[in-house]
Amino acid sequence: MATIEDVRVYWNTHIHDLEISRHPPGSREFFDDLDRYHFEKLHHLLRLVDFDGYRGRLVL
């Protein structure tokens, strides 16, 4: 079974959606660009996921 460190290493070496943003990965602007893109292209997620229910929590 994968450890938390295994998962962290995987996602740190396989960063998803790099081509969507011109900002450095991990920066606030990078995540703002990802949010904008995903909610424009995947707007159905707003109906399916209770994003406010996870506010303030650490999620993967």
User: pLDDT value at position 26?
Assistant: 87
Q: Please provide the size of the chain in residues.
A: 60
Interatomic CA distance for residues 29 and 40, integer angstroms: 16
Residue 60 has pLDDT above 80, yes or no: no
Specify the higher pLDDT residue, 38 or 4. Answer: 4
pLDDT tens by residue, 7-56: 999 988 988 788 999 999 889 999 999 999 988 888 888 788 888 999 99
Confidence (pTM): 0.52
Rounded to the nearest angstrom, the gap between the alpha carbon of residue 38 and the centroid of all alpha carbons in its chain is 9
Domain ranges of the chain: 4-50
